[in-house]
Amino acid sequence: MVNLSTKIGSLTLANPIMPASGTFSEDLSEVLDLHQLGAHVTKTITAEKRGGNPTPRVCEVRGSMLNSIGIPSKGVQHFIDNTIPFYNAYDVPLVVSISANSADEFARICEQVSVPGVAAIEVNISCPNIEEDGKAFAMRPSTTTAVMEKLRSASDLPLWAKLSPNTGETIEVALAAEEAGADALVVANTLLSMAIDIHTRKPKLGNLMGGLSGPSLKPIALRMAYQCAKSVQIPVIGCGGISTVEDIVEYLIAGATAVQVGTATFINPNIMVTLLGQLETYLETRNIANLSDLVGSVRDEDAADAVVFMETAP
Amino acid sequence: MVNLSTKIGSLTLANPIMPASGTFSEDLSEVLDLHQLGAHVTKTITAEKRGGNPTPRVCEVRGSMLNSIGIPSKGVQHFIDNTIPFYNAYDVPLVVSISANSADEFARICEQVSVPGVAAIEVNISCPNIEEDGKAFAMRPSTTTAVMEKLRSASDLPLWAKLSPNTGETIEVALAAEEAGADALVVANTLLSMAIDIHTRKPKLGNLMGGLSGPSLKPIALRMAYQCAKSVQIPVIGCGGISTVEDIVEYLIAGATAVQVGTATFINPNIMVTLLGQLETYLETRNIANLSDLVGSVRDEDAADAVVFMETAP
Amino acid sequence: MSLIQRHTAGEVSPANGTTHEVETTVKSNTPVNGEYRLLTLDAPQSVLDCQPGQFFHILCPVTTTEQPYLRRPMSIYGYSAEKGELQFLYKVTGEGTRALATLAKGDRLNVLGPLGVGFTIQDDWQNLLLLARGVGLATLAPLAQEAQRLNRKLVAICSARNADVLMSIDHFKSLGAEVITVTDADGTSDLENLRAIIEGRIADQGVDAMYTCGSNRMLKLLQEIGATHNIPGEIALEQQMACGLGMCQCCVRSFNREGTITQERVCREGPVFGIEEAMAW
Amino acid sequence: MSLIQRHTAGEVSPANGTTHEVETTVKSNTPVNGEYRLLTLDAPQSVLDCQPGQFFHILCPVTTTEQPYLRRPMSIYGYSAEKGELQFLYKVTGEGTRALATLAKGDRLNVLGPLGVGFTIQDDWQNLLLLARGVGLATLAPLAQEAQRLNRKLVAICSARNADVLMSIDHFKSLGAEVITVTDADGTSDLENLRAIIEGRIADQGVDAMYTCGSNRMLKLLQEIGATHNIPGEIALEQQMACGLGMCQCCVRSFNREGTITQERVCREGPVFGIEEAMAW
Ligand SMILES: Cc1cc2nc3c(=O)[nH]c(=O)nc-3n(C[C@H](O)[C@H](O)[C@H](O)COP(=O)(O)OP(=O)(O)OC[C@H]3O[C@@H](n4cnc5c(N)ncnc54)[C@H](O)[C@@H]3O)c2cc1C
Ligand SMILES: Cc1cc2nc3c(=O)[nH]c(=O)nc-3n(C[C@H](O)[C@H](O)[C@H](O)COP(=O)(O)OP(=O)(O)OC[C@H]3O[C@@H](n4cnc5c(N)ncnc54)[C@H](O)[C@@H]3O)c2cc1C
Ligand SMILES: Cc1cc2nc3c(=O)[nH]c(=O)nc-3n(C[C@H](O)[C@H](O)[C@H](O)COP(=O)(O)O)c2cc1C
Ligand SMILES: Cc1cc2nc3c(=O)[nH]c(=O)nc-3n(C[C@H](O)[C@H](O)[C@H](O)COP(=O)(O)O)c2cc1C
Ligand code: FES
Ligand code: FES
């Protein structure tokens, strides 16, 4: 019997596999036993009702996908009345993802969802900060600090800061989030991308650009997860392109204490449970008693001082 | 007969297809007729002799690759004595890629390679700036301006600035390069990534991290090429993940006036010539007389004002 | 006022918990004409409790030349729990369907379904009319099977470019449907002729409900006729899909529900919607 | 002093301009034992002017479960311009070779080659000795063919875990080579026994040149023996490759050339190097 449990700060998860925000909903219970997941992570909600972006909202690129859904939201009250009770029927920690366009609004919804039945709040700071120049909070350490400090004072629940791969300052942003009181980092969100239909010459997404997710994102998000795990003391949750048990093991070795599975669930709705079984077998056959023995076990001694200079790889 | 020629500032290329730096050398003449290319772009060289990075220098990721070659260089004199004469046997513009760790060194080698037989200089500003904090010049507009201004005064040849996808400030960097006198932008270099061998738990690259190239990079580099073409007046040369004629057409529609093909040549050494034939057929069958009719023809009217706010795509 | 009682977002429970991701085996995969192919699968019972209008989300194979990533939604063309059989009629259009076309007898295929909310045949609807063109036939065909089972009368108006690409005529006939064919080549497929045919049926035999699929033109035609004669109808819609299960919210379309524009997920609240609430696009 | 005159980076022109990217057709692809398979291709004449020790860069097929991206380097195991045939002996290890293993007669396979610089057999080398283990046999096998053509004597020392996975013994014998087998199971494959066998050959028949492949242990052994007896030798090396053509500079290894450490590309200056200059790793 291997011990698959993992600790994200004060929170202990039965296993390290959870869904990524926006790629999961109550609907998955039709196919999969939601009890088996390490946590339930809900689609990002905003305080106000929102319609979301124009269609088409997804398109396929070679071996991966782009999306620009745009956080359609029924509003926070609908969420509290309907979604939280649904998940509370399960004995699995509920993680609520929130977002807003300004730091104050962000703090307000953070407070609003700090209710019983919620185990942690994932703060999707990859959304544009309309008070500044429209760049997402997570693009710069300064805006990350500003919003995280307000969020920190708005709730006593664990706060997971979800970072963006669009920044050129991953480590600085990670440190800023930690400094301002984040309890964990989720690394990472989607990467801004584009595809054009060459027949119509129109962008394939109604919103022109969208976020890359799926296998193509993995080497990038893994690099970020590694950089973050090396730089901060708080737990890092790996996310991006996971679709095999080898991917999960790779993230754990890189230093992630848990992982989120997103797009792969669209391809194989059962995949999170399949991966859980495979992870258990993996550890068993290698006589690894505790999942935590894998975490951060990367053998990077040889190259360790190269890291600093590897801001780019020509 | 369609007109495949394209203008990159003062330079006219017979066709828009050229190799990407570092994925091409004299050796390809064994397989392919180098006369057929729109330009010849050489591997980045540095002034001094350099050994390059530890092996393994490449690894495979799902549908793409990582590399960390590290600019091994025989030095500028060897290049002038051997490489330039080789390419001058062809009636194809020669583009020389250069790099350095400081702005002054960069200017020096720029001057050194400004010799007859060189049609343009590609400045690989995606390399770390060791005078600052080790981040690549192309990570920030300020460092881009600083190095580009020195380069501009060092040579009268056309300067193509090669941008990095690692920055969170693509448009600002593009504008800085233009402002400082770049004649064209090459968009983009590889994206910092990582892969770990789960059996040995060692990074798959000797240098720990490396750059992602190949199909996975395409939606990201295409987005950047589009953003740049919308923002600057100078020509944009698209680069990243091109492996089909549809990919080329997509870059052209997005606003690129020419393209560079990199990793795809490793998969199919003949691909640049194959693509050239396919591009000609594509234009012919659609009665597009001039390649330039395709350039920038993206139909983004509907969504145009969304662009500004699409710094991230949650 | 909505003529047909439909699920709203809150109370949906499609497929009654019968959605499964399963491996099937290809029985046959044969060309129907130059563009369309019929795929017959050996499928487990767990996914064969289907409703006409529902769909499956298909994991197309990957080959050296075709590398589809997302699943592809396909209407159920035929299903039989007795034979353990599932059928799709598909048009070879892009990477995914080209990959599907490579499947041979004995190959495995992963499918997810049945998904979504299918067509309704209310108890008092005796005379059914369906209007189909192109791939719409695939979606509407199982309605004929269900009509026969429920002992209703069905007339199928089948439209196509020319007689060569008219499909499933025999299929409809064998299921007891009356078939009217119209083609562009004959000049019989224009809207005014269709209107005349349908108005004629309404006047002669009466029509209790109308069904269609896909096209804007047909939607508008049936909306007009339905409004004039107070005849309910249903339409199966398409939209780009990622999850197919209701999770990603990418597949929304706008609907006019009692004056308010709402967005509904085609994969979950649909793909079948009331004709009167569907909005032309 | 370098015992063998080798190409240096400047003057390399491998394959004499005979490198081509071509489509071949699989003639057969059969298991040799539990781990190895022999792939025989119908290949065009343009790529059949090969030298022992050269390699091809193979574009493995893509399937739903295996999706290799880069090409995979494989030594030429057999080539015959008369038969229009090219052969590879490969070990199924990862994604690419698993994909290769799925190829069936009639399937197409894109290969690039012949690549690199092969083995040398100088005019005055009459008694050749090769030392091979595992997949090294694939690389060294064509040397026997060439030795026969040039009428030289060849002794092949073949090493393996046990007798079951000893390969190509008959192949070597049919090409007139003398074969000595050693196995871990018999306890005959250890370095000291190998040293004794080779020293014995040198004392009895004499050895003019030694060839090996891959392993550090064997490299060191032959370097020692070569230095002691002043016998030249060659080794075929491996390294991760992307282009296979000399463009990307990823496949370098370090060599000791007259006291200076230089880096050479395995795909271009190699894969065959002088034993005395190769460095253990
Ligand atoms: C509920 C539903 C039922 C369908 N039933 C059938 C059917 O029975 N037979 C049939 O031939 N076709 C049907 N379609 C359309 C079918 O899904 C597309 O033709 C198919 O996805 C095209 O995939 P492709 O890779 O060949 O084409 P590509 O154009 O290469 O596809 C690119 C992407 O666009 C998506 N896409 C393309 N066309 C459509 C479309 N019309 N609707 C939704 N997504 C699309 C694909 O799924 C894919 O993600 C149905 C669509 C929906 C939504
Ligand atoms: C010049 C040369 C000749 C070779 N000849 C043969 C041969 O005749 N028979 C044979 O079985 N093998 C041979 N190899 C080794 C063969 O290339 C690898 O076994 C094969 O690439 C493994 O691919 P994979 O996808 O199955 O394994 P994976 O381990 O999944 O491969 C992952 C990546 O590592 C690379 N890689 C893995 N092992 C090696 C290796 N030993 N050398 C270089 N790259 C490697 C692969 O090419 C691929 O890019 C040769 C290697 C070289 C360099
Ligand atoms: C359709 C879709 C919707 C998403 N919505 C959200 C969201 O609302 N909030 C968020 O933080 N991330 C969202 N994401 C990003 C995912 O949570 C995840 O970070 C990303 O997809 C990378 O993981 P993956 O490659 O496993 O999908 C969304 C991703 C997809 C594909
Ligand atoms: C092996 C390798 C070496 C490279 N070396 C360089 C280099 O020296 N200078 C440079 O500017 N870009 C270099 N690049 C980046 C390519 O020029 C190109 O920007 C990148 O690979 C994206 O294009 P692709 O996806 O078509 O390969 C290299 C890429 C690879 C794969
Ligand atoms: S396809 Fe995901 S919600 Fe409909
Ligand atoms: S593999 Fe590219 S230089 Fe050898």
Query: Domain limits of chain C?
Result: 17-115, 127-274
Pocket lining: D246 vs ligand 6, CB cutoff 6 Å: yes
Average pLDDT of the segment spanning B116-133: 87
Torsion sign (Cα): C235, C241, C246, C250: negative
Beta bridge partners of B210: B193
Question: Is A59 in contact with A212 (CB distance < 8 Å)?
Answer: no
Question: Is D56 in contact with D74 (CB distance < 8 Å)?
Answer: yes
pLDDT of residue D85: 97
- Interchain CB distance below 8 Å, A128 and B312: yes
Q: Quick one: pLDDT band at residue C12, thresholds 50, 70, 90?
A: very low
Task: Identify which of D213, D57, D216 has the alpha carbon closest to the alpha carbon of residue D136.
Answer: D213
In percent, the amount of chain A with pLDDT more than 70 equals 96
Q: What is the pLDDT of residues D242-252, one digit of tens each?
A: 999 999 999 99
- DSSP-derived 3-state class of residue C123: coil
User: Which chains reach chain C with 3 or more Cβ–Cβ distances below 8 angstroms?
Assistant: A, D
Total residue length of chain A: 314
- Restricting to B residues 5-64, those with a Cβ less than 8 Å away from any Cβ of D are 22-25, 27-28, 30-31, 43, 51-52, 55-64
- DSSP-derived 3-state class of residue D25: strand
Question: Any CB–CB contact under 8 A between D59 and chain B?
Answer: yes
Q: Quick one: pLDDT band at residue C1, thresholds 50, 70, 90?
A: very low
pLDDT of residue A311: 36
The yes-or-no verdict on residue B222 having pLDDT over 50 is yes
Instruction: Suggest the residue from A194, A244, A288, A295 to mutate for an interface test with chain B (most B CBs closer than 10 A).
Output: A194
The yes-or-no verdict on residue A314 having pLDDT over 80 is no
Question: Is C274 in contact with C122 (CB distance < 8 Å)?
Answer: no
pLDDT of residue B128: 74
Q: Which atom of ligand 1 is nearest to the CA of C97?
A: 26
Q: How many residue pairs from chains A and B have C-beta atoms closer than 8 A?
A: 246
Which range has the worst mean pLDDT, A18-32, A296-310, B88-102? A296-310
pLDDT of residue D17: 61
The yes-or-no verdict on residue B63 having pLDDT over 80 is yes
CA distances from B93 to B15, B26, B96, B151, B161 (A): 11, 14, 10, 20, 17
Number of neighbours of residue C230 by Cβ within 10 angstroms: 7
Task: Identify which of C190, C159, C162, C161 has the alpha carbon closest to the alpha carbon of residue C172.
Answer: C159
Known catalytic residue at A239: no
Write phi, then psi, for A284 (nearest 5 degrees): -60, -50
How far apart are the CA of B221 and the centre of ligand 3, in A?
Answer: 20
The DSSP secondary structure of B169-213, one letter per residue, reads -HHHHHHHHHHTT-SEEEE---EEE--B-TTT-SBSSTTS-EEEE
Write phi, then psi, for C96 (nearest 5 degrees): -65, -50
pLDDT of residue C216: 86
Question: Any CB–CB contact under 8 A between D8 and chain C?
Answer: no
Distance CA B248, CA B275 (A): 8
Distance CA C137, CA C87 (A): 13
Q: Which residue is listed with tokens 């699968």? A: C41
Q: From the list A24, A55, A268, which residue is nearest C240 (CB)?
A: A55
Q: Are strands A159-162 and A184-187 parallel, antiparallel or unpaired?
A: parallel
Q: What is the pLDDT of residues C26-44, one digit of tens each?
A: 999 999 988 899 999 999 9
Task: Identify which of C131, C197, C198, C139 has the alpha carbon closest to the alpha carbon of residue C160.
Answer: C131
Q: Quick one: pLDDT band at residue B171, thresholds 50, 70, 90?
A: very high
Average pLDDT of the segment spanning B284-313: 75
Write phi, then psi, for A258 (nearest 5 degrees): -160, 170
Average pLDDT of the segment spanning A125-140: 84
Q: Using CB atoms within 10 A of its CB, is residue D199 exposed (0-12), middle (13-18) or buried (19+)?
A: middle
Which of the two residues, B305 and A294, has the higher pLDDT score?
A294
- For residue A81 the two structure tokens come to 């009345």
pLDDT of residue B120: 98
Arithmetic mean of pLDDT over chain A? 94
pLDDT of residue B310: 38
Q: Which CATH architecture has domain D127-274?
A: 3-Layer(aba) Sandwich (3.40)
User: What's the fold here for domain A6-312?
Assistant: TIM Barrel (3.20.20)
Q: What is the pLDDT of residues B173-211, one digit of tens each?
A: 999 999 999 999 999 999 999 999 999 999 999 999 999
Q: What is the pLDDT of residues A75-84, one digit of tens each?
A: 999 999 999 9
Q: How far is B127 from chain A (nearest CA, A)?
A: 6
Task: Identify which of D210, D237, D213, D208 has the alpha carbon closest to the alpha carbon of residue D224.
Answer: D210
Arithmetic mean of pLDDT over chain D? 90
Q: What is the pLDDT of residues C250-274, one digit of tens each?
A: 999 999 988 899 999 999 999 999 9
Write phi, then psi, for B311 (nearest 5 degrees): -70, -25
CA D41 and chain centroid, separation: 18
The yes-or-no verdict on residue B104 having pLDDT over 50 is yes
CA distances from A181 to A9, A230, B79, B293, D152 (A): 12, 18, 53, 54, 77
Pocket lining: A162 vs ligand 3, CB cutoff 6 Å: yes
- Interchain CB distance below 8 Å, A269 and C248: no
pLDDT of residue C5: 39
pLDDT of residue C17: 61
The yes-or-no verdict on residue C7 having pLDDT over 60 is no
Question: Is C201 in contact with C208 (CB distance < 8 Å)?
Answer: no
- Each of the 281 residues of chain D gets a pLDDT tens digit; together they read 333 333 333 333 333 467 999 999 999 999 988 889 999 999 999 999 999 999 999 999 999 899 999 999 999 999 999 999 999 999 999 999 999 999 999 999 999 999 999 999 999 999 999 999 888 888 999 999 999 999 999 999 999 888 887 878 888 888 889 999 999 998 898 999 999 999 999 999 999 999 999 788 889 999 999 999 999 999 999 999 999 999 999 999 999 988 899 999 999 999 999 999 998 87
Q: How far is B53 from chain D (nearest CA, A)?
A: 9
The CB-side HSE value for D222 (13 A sphere, CA atoms) comes to 31
Q: Quick one: pLDDT band at residue B127, thresholds 50, 70, 90?
A: confident
Local structure of residue B294 (DSSP, 8 states): T
Distance CA D76, CA A241 (A): 37
User: What's the fold here for domain D17-115?
Assistant: Elongation Factor Tu (Ef-tu); domain 3 (2.40.30)
Find the radius of gyration of the CA atoms of chain D: 18
- For residue B36 the two structure tokens come to 């057929």
